[in-house]
Amino acid sequence: MVEKVRPGAFIQFDGGEDGRDCKYIVKYQCPKCGKPLYQGQMACEECGTFFDWSKRAHIVVTRSIEWR
């Protein structure tokens, strides 16, 4: 059986085409070599690591108020 690992995920701000459709997006990278990945990519083109996409990364926003 081939060992699969969960890809590294991070949040990136996407300014969109004209600034009106800007948003935060999830970007993926290989946890072993750092090469950028596409969601659902089965293996890293650089080091050959296989990925486990059984769960999906979601952006969670938490807001709080702090008195200063």
pLDDT of res. 9: 96
pLDDT of res. 57: 92
pLDDT of res. 21: 86
Per-position b or e across 47-56, b if 16+ CB within 10 A of its CB:
eebebeeeee
* Bridge partner list, 10: 27
State if pTM tops 0.75. Answer: yes
* Bridge partner list, 28: 9, 37
pLDDT of res. 61: 87
| Domain parsing of the chain, residue ranges | 4-51
How far is residue 38's CA from residue 21's CA, in Å, rounded to a whole number?
A: 21
Tens-digit pLDDT string for the chain (68 aa) = 788 999 999 999 998 888 788 999 999 999 999 999 999 999 999 999 999 999 999 999 888 899 99
CA distances from 12 to 9, 25, 55 (A): 10, 5, 19
